[in-house]
Amino acid sequence: MPLESIAKTLMLAALALLAIGAVLFVFAKLGMPRLPGDVVLEGRNWKVYLPLATSLLISVVLTLVINLLLRVFR
């Protein structure tokens, strides 16, 4: 694999991580909303949060982004 190809791949990965980090930072500042389908179990001294709908949404979005990037850089 040519060195230029590796360099482009690393730069693309860095930009993707930067974008993901920025989105997570904004979500943290705004307060990540709980979607319908996220499960919260609470007891007296404990709390379990299972983000099922949020995980599904993130999975679909990342799948679309990765497929788009693979088609562009093919």
Q: What is the pLDDT of residues 13-52, one digit of tens each?
A: 899 889 888 887 887 787 766 778 888 999 999 999 888 8
- In which domain, by residue range, is 58 found? 33-74
Same domain, 25 and 40: no
Q: Supply the pLDDT for residue 41.
A: 92
Are 21 and 57 contained in the same domain? no
27 shares its domain with 37: no
45 and 67 housed in the same domain? yes
How far apart are the C-alpha atoms of 25 and 8, rounded to whole Å?
26
Burial 24-40 (b: 16+ CB within 10 A, else e): eeeeeeeeeeeeeebee
Co-location of 25 and 43 in the same domain: no
Global pTM?
Answer: 0.55
* Chain centre distance of CA 56: 11
